[in-house]
Structure 1
Amino acid sequence: MPLALEKSVALSGSIMKKNISVKKIILTLHILLWSVVLLLPYLVSNAAHDYSIGSIPGSFFTICGVIHIGIFYLHALVLYPRLWNKHYWWAYIPAVIVLIGGSFPLKYAIMAQWFPAVQHDPGTYRFVFAPSFVVYAISLIYCRIKDKLQAEKAQKEQQAEQLSSELKFLRSQVSPHFLFNVLTNLVSLARKKSDQLEPALLMLSDLMRYMLYDTGKKVALSEEVTYLNSYIALQKLRFGQEIAVNTRIAGSRDTAAFTIEPMLLIPFVENAFKHGSGYTPNPSIDIQLFLEKEVLTFEVQNRYDNDPNASKDENSGIGLANVKTRLQLLYPHRHQLQIRNEPPVFQVTLILSLT
């Protein structure tokens, strides 16, 4: 079975298990609440008083409770979803009248047959018949709240789907953009007939393997750092001594415990090499990555040519715009992106909470 399909099946199974557990909790709550209602006379009264609540015998109270359960669930499971939610209000109203009205003669017949003492006390009638209205009202409120929760859940799922689709698009956008830049480097090496072309191709194959197999999910920060170091090494092969590249990057021992969105850091380095390798005298690029507890700080600084007539790459904004959007989607309120453009120095600082 393909890895993506296995993950999809596992995710579906996890969602199903979660839904089943939620349904079990709700069912348990319903059983507990109705059990308390049915057994209330036996909890608050005693045999000496016939388990009565006021002048209503406990057994009659429990029988009425069963009738109220019928009202609640006939409304919640039949009338409301089939009539109200389908906008058959003209049928819903008489159906509710029949449901509530039908409970009155049923209660009266039980009262007359088995509890004549209650029948001869008109003062208790309101406590016998009025609960039918109350239970209906509670059932209606329950249905409305349930509808609202389901609508909110559906909206969140739709938003999550949209975010997931947008994220997939952004991830798919990164790879071609990156490959375009790397192939430009290799063309440069080929034109120079450099001996470094072969090791550069080997590095490219490793980078492509990373892009193809590891960028569909979050990866270990140590993997992203390895990828970053490989890209910097590839650029050094191209430029040699033409650009001073200074790096201070945390080792795998410090970064192995954290995960990060793949190919999140590389666009800043791409941008630095692209704009820091022009006609700037004494070009230099400084790259720093360090961790303090669970907070990552990544800083890239380069010198660039501020001449407005200098040629610009039409696609130069793709990488930075892409990473900004991904940061907003994946790390809302958990990152700070500071861009300082003070010619001839361009500096980007990303502070990212990894928890």
Structure 2
Amino acid sequence: MIEYLWLQGSLEGFTTIQYMIAAFEAVVLEGLPELFYAYYFTYRIWPRLTQKKQPWYTLLWYVTEMLVVLVGCIYLVRFSFYYIILPVVFDGRFPPSPTFEFRRFMSILFNFVATSGLMFAIKSFRLQLKMKEREKVLIKEKLETELKMLRNQMNPHFLFNTLNNIYALTKKKSDKAEEAIMKLSDLLSFMLYRSNKASITIEEEMRILDDYIELEKLRYDRLSIAFNKQVDDHTVTIAPLLLLPLVENAFKHGPSGSRFDSFIHIDFILKEKVLFFEISNSFETGSSQAVITENIGLNNTRRQLELMYQSYNLEIDNDNNIFHVKLHINLDTYAEN
């Protein structure tokens, strides 16, 4: 367009179509060497100039090669203008100018620098976008790997505790041992075949908690358990096995370490995709409850929350022989949303 506006009215007898054709041909003939040099500089010279630990004479060779090619391309433009564009494209209607005039040389040099600089800027911008995208993929893969490791770490931890419970029942020759084994089988089936999914429904998560609580109740006689559920939508999804470590800790550090009557109270409230999960349990002074915040289950839960949810709040309180965990999660802020 610039070439067309520059030519318009200057070639006597040319129609509008002829002006447009002449402008197009002139731009192509002058632009091809510029494009060639832009690609040459961006994809050959620059990568070599930026290589690390090169001897000085190698760099000098690349700089010399770059200058030779640049001067050659500039004079190629001048030759095409002098021998093709002026006599053929413009039909000899412009007076010829000196082929090697310095002023025109500098003008063409500026065009070469501008074209190469623009291409280099575009390539650098695209490379940065590609690097950022690759970085995102690597971070995502790292987080997914860490999440799998956390779940794999939690499952043996849960299995270890549950097998201890069953062992205690079998040692007492309790009839409850068989029922406990069946419930453990159901839990392990879930862990093996369904917990690898990114999310499960609230209904499934509550069922797992119910099964675990029933499994633990077989072991304790002097334990009061209250499980309050208020769910407005059973199809809402949650990360699998996210809440189980909190319930597991309540049993492990509450009734298991108590010689007297103990209690566990659980509130499971879901309202408009916001989960309010609170669990409290009694414990005896001097038990291992004081260091509960450092155990595997709570650490795993905290880390999984960091990896998977953008909006959550986890509070832990240990006072008056009652351990209290309060967890609020906006389930609509799952990391993959």
2:251 to 270, 273, 278: 273
How has the CA–CA distance of structure 1 residues 192 and 250 changed in structure 2, closer, same or farther, with 3 Å as cutoff? farther
Q: Deviations over 1:50-104 (max 9, x none)?
A: 547xxx9442123223333222223333333455356664444233323322221
Higher alpha-carbon deviation: 144-153 or 320-329: 144-153
The secondary structure found in structure 2 opposite 1:244 is strand
Aligned: 1:100 with 2:70: yes
Partner residue in 1 for 2:239: 261
1:69 to 32, 35, 47: 35
Counterpart-to-counterpart distance in 1, 2:132 and 2:319: 46
Partner residue in 1 for 2:197: 217
Counterpart-to-counterpart distance in 2, 1:100 and 1:118: 27
Q: Deviations over 1:180-206 (max 9, x none)?
A: 111111122223322221121111001
Higher alpha-carbon deviation: 150-159 or 192-201: 150-159
How has the CA–CA distance of structure 1 residues 203 and 142 changed in structure 2, closer, same or farther, with 3 Å as cutoff? same
Counterpart-to-counterpart distance in 1, 2:274 and 2:235: 14
Partner residue in 1 for 2:335: none
The secondary structure found in structure 1 opposite 2:183 is helix
Aligned: 1:328 with 2:298: no
Equivalence map 1:89-238=2 (5 Å): 89-116=59-86, 117=94, 119-120=96-97, 127-221=107-201, 222-238=203-219
Question: Where do 5+ consecutive residues of structure 2 fail to align?
Answer: 9-14, 87-93, 333-337
How has the CA–CA distance of structure 1 residues 48 and 147 changed in structure 2, closer, same or farther, with 3 Å as cutoff? closer
How has the CA–CA distance of structure 1 residues 203 and 178 changed in structure 2, closer, same or farther, with 3 Å as cutoff? same
Kept in 2, the 8 Å contact 1:189–1:238? The answer is yes
Kept in 2, the 8 Å contact 1:203–1:230? The answer is yes
How has the CA–CA distance of structure 1 residues 78 and 234 changed in structure 2, closer, same or farther, with 3 Å as cutoff? same
Q: Deviations over 1:298-321 (max 9, x none)?
A: 111111112x2x367999711111
Letter in 2 for 1:216: N
Aligned: 1:299 with 2:282: no
How has the CA–CA distance of structure 1 residues 44 and 195 changed in structure 2, closer, same or farther, with 3 Å as cutoff? farther
In the TM superposition, residue 109 of structure 1 has moved relative to its aligned partner by 0.8
Count the aligned residue pairs.
309
Higher alpha-carbon deviation: 216-225 or 130-139: 216-225
TM-score, normalized by length of structure 2? 0.79
Identical residues among aligned pairs (%): 30
Counterpart-to-counterpart distance in 1, 2:311 and 2:95: 66
In the TM superposition, residue 154 of structure 1 has moved relative to its aligned partner by 3.9
How has the CA–CA distance of structure 1 residues 280 and 335 changed in structure 2, closer, same or farther, with 3 Å as cutoff? farther
Letter in 2 for 1:288: D
Kept in 1, the 8 Å contact 2:205–2:240? The answer is yes
Question: Where do 5+ consecutive residues of structure 1 fail to align?
Answer: 1-38
